[in-house]
Amino acid sequence: MAVKSLFIVCFMSALIQLTLASKARHFKWEVGHIFWSPDCLENVVIGINGQFPGPTIRAKAGDTIVVELTNKLHTEGVVIHWHGIRQFGTPWADGTAAISQCAINPEETFVYRFIVDKPGTYFYHGHYGMQRSAGLYGSLIVDVADGEKEPFHYDGELNMLLSDWWHKDVTEQGLGLSSKPFRWIGEPQSLLINGKGQYNCSLAAHVSNSSLPLCRKLHGHCSPHVLHVIPNKTYRLRIASTTALASINVGIGHHKMVVIEADGNYVEPVTVDNIDIYSGESYSVLITTDQNPSSNYWVSLNVRGRNPSTPPGLTILNYHPNSPSKLPTSPLPVSPAWNDYPKSKAFSNKILARPGSPKPPTKPNRRIFLLNTQNTIDGYTKWAINNISLVLPTTPYLGSIKYRLKNAFDVESPPETFPSDYDVMKPPVNPNSTHGSNVYMFKFNNTVDVILQNANALSADVSEIHPWHLHGHDFWLLGYGEGKFTAADEKKLNLKNPPLRNTAVIFPYGWTALRFVTDNPGVWAFHCHIEPHLHMGMGVVFAEAVHLVKKIPNEALGCGMTAKMLIRP
């Protein structure tokens, strides 16, 4: 009895500590179309509470985030995905339409309630149709819990949420992608830093050989988001990318960066001149303001991996007490050539776990190979994984699997690999693939390896970058390789200090190996984070021990077969 009492006392004390330390943070958001000028040209944008980007959420590890989201779009459903948040115990709050919940209908409110258990740099964004591209995103920053300390020192913080922007609305973009003949969205008109860019002008016209004129209008929406610093301090610069398409190189004139965090996980500090960041990734870098304090410095974004037609995204690192409008006279920081893949790979390979980070299980229970190919289906251009182009079902998987509804999706198991004689260096010989909504079903607490295998696209000598993002998990990124993954590559896998990430890029003609543990009952998307690629079918679905999922809120079930079968007046 004494032991039991002691246990109760300890438990109560822990509970009280938790209650004291952690906090529920309430937000009331209205998502709606707004007139806005992200790059100085007015467009219709999806905003939150009348602003673009959406409000930054700032919380502490252990806090409960409660977002009461009301959809004020006139005819469109909406969901919000909390990118990088694992949603332990709350898989219905992952914000993926047709996977974790029914899209929220116009005028309806859905309450996203979830715990942010891990400090880091995150963001949130729409996950329905191409609403992310339409502007539905914002930052989510989780600080260490009270009493905890970050494992590095800094004097101040800066935040940059990167995105790319098109002037054509997403309805037209999405229609073009789904049309025969295919209409590609093209390169973005502008790169945005915290929702701000400059179209048809350059902040750096006086120091670059761009044909664009110097920007004149620099107020309101047209002003860049300046980063204000004090000389001789160390800053943590958080950088997250929610681009629809662009892979971005970020450089700061005359300043080195020390990478310390990736996707909400501490990494072994590494000093670099600039970083490559792919859509879906986040980094924290430390910068020290030890340069000539009488100048301001360029912060520049350049497109990587695609022959760029988008001018650099620019803002200014403003040393106090200089005027923020004092433009740097130095040339723009040197960015690697768009197709300097060795440089990109070298950077990716530098990102390693900080000593003391959790290590991966030594062996997987199951290994899945996912071949990434571009294909045609009935003449429509698609992306496919092991020859299946993902088409999401009408009824979200979470409800249909939990309630064992029949015919809600394609029940055959999708392939675990691809033909061994497939030549990843050539366009598909027979490019036809099929549509499917098939699901990879996982038992609870298994260790799963995924080998993402890139290949040649439909055109000869083309293979693209794809940043793959996993919901509900971090994975260990075991390594990158060239060509087709073979048995000999097994020994190249890094089981010693692989970084934990939620997004991993595959390079042209290469492979990337991941390992994760199926410790989170729910249904989780795993997909290319390039918005038009996902729209074209580039994703798979993982279901984990759904029988262990607790009661799904009715608000997540009001569509498809869960509505049809479960409404009982």
Region from 31-39, 291-299, 342-350, 503-511 binding a second copy, contact rule CB under 8 A: 31-39
Does 186 participate in binding a second copy (rule CB under 8 A)?
A: no
State the minimum distance, in angstroms, from the CB of residue 223 to a second copy. Answer: 23
Query: Does residue 165 contact residue 192 with C-beta atoms inside 8 Å?
Result: yes
State the minimum distance, in angstroms, from the CB of residue 569 to a second copy. Answer: 5
Does 103 participate in binding a second copy (rule CB under 8 A)?
A: yes
Cα(56)–Cα(431) distance, rounded to whole angstroms?
Answer: 43
State the minimum distance, in angstroms, from the CB of residue 230 to a second copy. Answer: 40
Does 66 participate in binding a second copy (rule CB under 8 A)?
A: no
Site for a second copy in 396-435 (CB under 8 A): 403
State the minimum distance, in angstroms, from the CB of residue 333 to a second copy. Answer: 38
Whether cis (ω within 30° of 0) applies to the bond prior to 499 is no
Identity of the residue, 77 or 415, whose beta carbon is nearer to a second copy in the bound complex: 77
Does 327 participate in binding a second copy (rule CB under 8 A)?
A: no
> Which candidate, 420, 419, 393, 390, places its Cα nearest to that of 408?
393
282's CB contacts (< 8 A; 6+ apart) are: 84, 120, 121, 122, 123, 238, 239, 240, 241, 261, 262, 263, 264
**What mask of x and - would describe binding to a second copy in positions 106 to 125, judged by CB under 8 A?**
xxx-----------------
CA 363 to chain centre: 27
| Token code pair at residue 336 | 């690697």
404 Ramachandran zone, left/alpha/beta (phi>0; psi -120 to 50): left
Does 441 participate in binding a second copy (rule CB under 8 A)?
A: no
4's CB contacts (< 8 A; 6+ apart) are: none
Identity of the residue, 342 or 553, whose beta carbon is nearer to a second copy in the bound complex: 553
Cα(179)–Cα(128) distance, rounded to whole angstroms?
Answer: 19
Per-residue CA distances from 414 to 386, 441, 517 (Å): 8, 9, 20
Does 105 participate in binding a second copy (rule CB under 8 A)?
A: yes
Does 555 participate in binding a second copy (rule CB under 8 A)?
A: yes
Place of tokens 């952690």: 22
State the minimum distance, in angstroms, from the CB of residue 175 to a second copy. Answer: 5
| Token code pair at residue 162 | 């990167």
> Which candidate, 535, 561, 529, places its Cα nearest to that of 244?
529
Does 172 participate in binding a second copy (rule CB under 8 A)?
A: yes
Does 558 participate in binding a second copy (rule CB under 8 A)?
A: yes
Does 135 participate in binding a second copy (rule CB under 8 A)?
A: no
Does 44 participate in binding a second copy (rule CB under 8 A)?
A: yes
Does 8 participate in binding a second copy (rule CB under 8 A)?
A: no
Region from 95-103, 221-229, 268-276, 318-326 binding a second copy, contact rule CB under 8 A: 95-103
Does 349 participate in binding a second copy (rule CB under 8 A)?
A: no
337 Ramachandran zone, left/alpha/beta (phi>0; psi -120 to 50): beta
Binding-site ranges for a second copy (CB under 8 A): 33-35, 44, 74-78, 98, 102-103, 105-108, 128-131, 169, 171-172, 174-176, 178-179, 392-394, 403, 551-552, 554-555, 557-560, 562-569
